[in-house]
Chain A
Amino acid sequence: MSPPPGPMRGRRHGPSMPTEKAADFRGTIVKLVRYCRPYLPAILIAVVFAALGAVMSVIGPNFVGDLSDLISEGIPVAGHSGVIDMDAVMRISVILLSIYAASWVFNFLQGYIMATTSQRIARTMRSEISAKINRMPLRYFDRHQFGDTLSRVTNDVDSVGVALNSSIGSLVNALAMLLGCLVMMLWTNWIMAGVAIIATVFGFVLMFTIMRRSQKYFVGQQRVLGEVNGQIEEVYSGHTVVKAFNGEYGAIGQFVDANGRLYSNAWKSQFLSGMMMPLMGFVGNLGYVAVCITGSVLMVQGHADIGTIVSFMIYVRLFTSPLNLIAQANTSIQSAAAAGERVFEFLGEEEMEDESSKTAAIDEVRGKVEFDHVRFGYLPDKTIIHDLSFTAEPGSKVAVVGPTGAGKTTLVNLLMRFYDPDSGEIRIDGIPTSDMPREKVRDLFCMILQDTWIFEGTIRENIVYSEEGVTDEDVMRACDAVGLIHFVNTLPEGLDTVLDDRASISAGQRQQITIARAIIENAPLLILDEATSSVDTRTERVIQRAMDDLTVGRTSFVIAHRLSTIRNADVILVMRDGDIKEIGNHDELMARNGYYAELYNSQFEE
């Protein structure tokens, strides 16, 4: 029930990887802000707390400096009193600790509010995507891969959530800290501030130059890693064929080559990304020394005191860290914008037409189905069904035949209003289905498709599904009708057995459950795809009997594979290349000696 975990799927990577960029960054951010509107007050409060927290971190060192000054008063040198004012020390200590405590409170509240807010926003986004899926036309899903929609529900929403959670806080915090540091440094001593800024900026220019140069290795590493992993996936999944055709020698040669290229990219990008931290450290030390030397020069000249130098030692460190944080937050916001863009794109997709004004309904269904000059194409400029007209009388059987890929499901799509015809009408008991709301049309049909669909849940849940007021007796009766009752009774949990990827149920049992589901629904019309799935002969017979029982008294549309079904059908629609080629019953069609006859004979010809 779940696809194999491939390395190519999965989440996006860490910070050293090149980030995706949104096509319309500004537009996406505007949309995101508008989306977060109900939470804006909370976010604003968090921003204020972030700024306050930063202010606390910045003014703290000043008091450490004062503390240091007070203590140094106790050192017996000229100009010092030689006495430590312990009262003042205590007073400043209390202030200092209160500042740190306040900083803790502000940062915690900021984190708490943003965590709560971003999770709520992520939850709303997921819900909206899920609800959106049910409002979109099938056209979209027939054309887009499921994986794409899935990754929007999880990965993309996650990216947005993480960015909201961490980036806003740390960005505001870092900006405030940077600004605060700058102000405090300038205010304390502008000469030393200038020196600290020059040293830091020099370091960062150096660092960014290296990082820019290394970008190509990151890109290369991602590309070659994709190539290597692709080879692994391909060769492993085609293992038998590789072995049967002695392809391992060639495969190993190719792999060794790509693996070698991966090695050279991998160590380079690893080395370069590992340089960040030591370089940061060096920039910090550079700033420190620069500040100390300048400080000492100034002190000798009487323009600074020891406290100033001590607080600058801390400012220099505080000053370098936000720059790094801003760079990180920027990366995270960039990827969130790219993810957000995909989420909003999905939420902005065209929806099915609103049908709340349609009121037509059929009270007592007789089951006459008419196709009246129906014209249809999946693409606007590519009509595949050109002009289809036929009538299925109440209780009759319509067989749809044709080779694989002939478009037999198109008819199901039109009957169930998964797609609407481009022109012409489909009428049930004289009422055009386009005049009825979709739910009403679908209520009229039992549908059994070839791709059996079982979801994770108990057998009972799978059979009852969305039907209400179904008793266990009903379920057991349905199980009996499809020959599933013995299987259910042998299970220790019976109907409560959970069907998940650990439970091994056969293809036949899946079919049987699907049919039981249709029996419970008990709608007056039937759509049936009787594809010969790989089940053993006995089960197949049971399934066929259950299917045949379902057709009794119901107008049925059968995508037929069994010759007996085809020959007994009242109307046979012969399909080829998407369109209906011939219509008639078996004898008529055989007499015509056309495509149907050719198709039919190809099985027995020798």
Chain B
Amino acid sequence: MADGMTRMDKLRLFMRYTERKDYLMLMAAFLFVVVQVYMDITIPGYMSEIVELLYTPGTVPSDILGTGGWMLLCALVSLSAALVTGFIAARVAATVAMRLREAIFRKTLSFSMEEIGRFSTASLITRSTNDITQVQLFIAVGMQVIIKAPIMAVWGVSMILGKNFEWTLVTAGAVVILVLIMSVIVFVAIPKSRLIQSLTDDVNRVTRENLTGIRVVRAYNAEGYQEEKFEDANRRLTDTNLFVSKVMSLVSPSMSFLMSGLTAAIYIVGATLIDSALPLERTALFADMVVFSNYAMLIIMAFMSLSMITIIAPRSLVAAGRIVEVIATDATIADGTETEGVPGKEGTVEFRDVSFSYPGAQEAVVSGITFTASKGDTVAIIGATGCGKSTIVNLIPRFYDVTSGSVMVDGRDVREYTQRSLRDRIGYVPQKAVLFSGTVRSNVSYGSEDATDEEVRKAVAVAQGRDFVESMEGGYDAPIAQGGSNVSGGQKQRLSIARAVCSKPEIYIFDDSFSALDYKTDLNLRRALKDEVGDATVIMVAQRIGTIRDADTILVVDDGRIVGSGRHDDLLRDCPVYREIALSQLSEEELS
């Protein structure tokens, strides 16, 4: 389980998504960084050589040209090395991101509803998108800096360390000040910036509340109340924003002051040093001074990028950890091997003393569920919200596995089938219709891609969708936007039903799929289903008595248990829970 993972486990798992080739590439990148840093460090040497040359009597411009040429060559080599490093980093980052993205996508698809529920869909989406991008960016940019900055710092320090105590002291002082400025950012500005995020969310929330409740707000003449609330959130956001920007307006000038101040300080110290040195040492000392100011800048830059990394790295590490958590989670549902049911038992669904509880939960969601649906039967399940109706039907296509007992389809325990062959037998219609971007046709023939035009048309007709589909521009090839946002709720539901019809299943599962339809459509649809696919078994969850009153068996579920089972008239007489539900919807006379 992902929860118990140590940081080391996570790292090890993360490493599995890198290959030897990547390491070779990284090694190469390392070498090129060394070349680059070497060149960057050599360049100030040429600079001071040029300066020395300038002071040497008898220097002709061609000498400078020679040294300058070498310096330029170094700059070119440095540029090339940097480009190669950048190329490698970009390739490795994109490769790792691609692999991780595919791995997390495949893994998520293998999850059952239980794992999905544990992470939540929204979180899984963030992990598969933003978190991956974060990691990619870190590898592409951060890794270079992580390799480069220490090399720069160590090298720079080693070059100046022996040279001169006073200058070293000045540089060290500058580094200390830099660290101080950086800690202001890390300890003052960053925590406040996090706060800004949540305050922005507040402003967003108040606005969203105002917009979603706009009719209520106006009905209660509460515009002033809302504005006051908004002003409060707005003021808190602005105050925090102000604080952070004020701190930051202090940081940036201080940085440039530090950099230019360091150069000036080295020169001023240099003047004293040279003044007190012997005339013969002075030329070398002067050249040293120019070199030193360059190395000092190099060191400052190295520390600056290192501190930037300490700001960025934690976020990327968290993102990587979140990705690994998903990849490390194993789906609780294992594939079986059978593809065929028991002969003669086609189209049957049987529950044998089934219980289900969430892992770690005290109480079972459903327990002691036993019933049989023969081929062509309609079994309806009714009960209050949260009583476990949906859970029962979700056990049939193995969205969850039973905790005890067994669910049999075609005479065989659902766990013995391969998931594919089990689900091929089932036409499932969820409570909330799901449509994918594409066309009406691609949505209806989803999962049965070889369906003919005739079959698609027929399925839509059975689902009572012919009129609206044929009036859409493009008819069966009319585009469907992501999430089906361009069709109404009732239309979505009908297309979702058509999809199930089109897959020609032995067994239909309707998880409260009719509540979004008006009574008339509901009735016509059930009639059409009976006419067209009368030999299929139907298991339906419903809320309306009207929808289920002619079912072969009605199961009344209360608190996860079956408290009544039979036909409408019998239940009305014998089952108090059923009677209560029925009376809340219909009057005595209508029921009789």
Contacts and interface: CB of A to CB of B under 8 A. Distances in A.
A449 B218 CA distance: 13
A252 B234 contact: no
Interface size class of B (residues with CB under 8 A): 35 or more
Contact of A599 (B90, B220, B503, B520): B520
A281 B279 CA distance: 36
Contacts of A585: none
Contact of A297 (B64, B213, B279): B64
A244 B90 CA distance: 39
Given A116-B242, A275-B83, A64 B256 contact: no
B129 A229 contact: yes
A38 interface: no
Given A296-B54, A299-B54, 19 more contacts: A4-B120, A71-B274, A71-B286, A74-B271, A126-B234, A141-B211, A240-B113, A241-B434, A243-B419, A244-B397, A244-B399, A263-B95, A267-B95, A270-B136, A271-B87, A282-B78, A288-B71, A292-B50, A418-B215
Given A122-B238, A296-B59, A306-B51, A233 B125 contact: yes
B149 interface: no
B122 interface: yes
A605 interface: yes
Interface in B479-524: 482-483, 488-490, 496, 499, 503, 516-523
Interface string B120-160: 11101110111001001000110010000000000000000
B368 interface: no
B537 to A, nearest CB: 16
B587 A564 contact: yes
A250 B215 CA distance: 44
Contact of B225 (A60, A127, A153, A465): A465
Contacts of A246: 419-420, 423-424, 447
B71 A289 contact: yes
A158 to B, nearest CB: 8
B251 to A, nearest CB: 9
Given A71-B274, A74-B282, A292-B50, A537 B257 contact: no
Of listed A97, A244, A289, A532, residue having the most chain B CB within 10 A: A244
Nearest to A229: B129
B213 A5 contact: no
Interface stretch (A21-29, A327-335, A438-446): A438-446
A252 B47 contact: no
Given A64-B263, A119-B238, A404 B490 contact: yes
A306 B120 CA distance: 68
A300 B60 contact: yes
A267 B94 contact: yes
Interface in B50-83: 50-51, 53-57, 59-61, 64-65, 68, 71-72, 75-76, 78-79, 82-83
Given A130-B210, A537-B384, A540-B584, A442 B546 contact: no
Q: Could you tell me the dominant secondary structure of chain B's interface residues?
A: helix
A240 B83 contact: no
A537 B578 CA distance: 10
B55 A306 contact: yes
Interface in B253-294: 253-254, 256-257, 260-261, 263-264, 267-268, 270-272, 274-275, 279-280, 282-283, 286, 289-290
Contacts of B122: 4-6
Interface stretch (B6-14, B200-208, B308-316, B408-416): B200-208
Contacts of A115: 242, 245-246, 248-249
A57 interface: yes
Nearest to A536: B384
Interface string A281-313: 110011011001101110110000010011001
Contacts of A130: 207, 210, 226-227, 230-231, 234
A234 B503 contact: no
Contacts of A57: 256, 260
B208 A111 contact: no
Interface in A205-221: none
Interface residues of A, number: 163
Interface stretch (B101-109, B357-365, B452-460): B101-109
Contacts of A405: 488, 490
A70 B271 contact: yes
7 contacts: A108-B250, A122-B241, A133-B214, A244-B428, A262-B98, A267-B94, A442-B221
B267 A68 contact: yes
- In order of increasing CB-CB distance, the 7 nearest A-B pairs are A245-B447, A111-B249, A4-B122, A536-B384, A403-B518, A115-B245, A466-B222
A123 interface: yes
A240 B399 contact: yes
B223 A537 contact: no
Nearest to A282: B79
Interface stretch (A78-86, A378-386, A470-478, A549-557): A78-86
A96 interface: yes
Of listed A100, A138, A259, residue having the most chain B CB within 10 A: A100
Interface in B419-478: 419-420, 423-424, 426, 428, 430, 434, 436-437, 446-449
Contact of A300 (B61, B274, B522, B546): B61
A493 interface: no
A245 B267 contact: no
A232 B205 CA distance: 26
Contacts of A230: 437, 482
B275 A259 contact: no
Interface in A441-461: 442-443, 445, 447, 449, 451, 453, 455-456
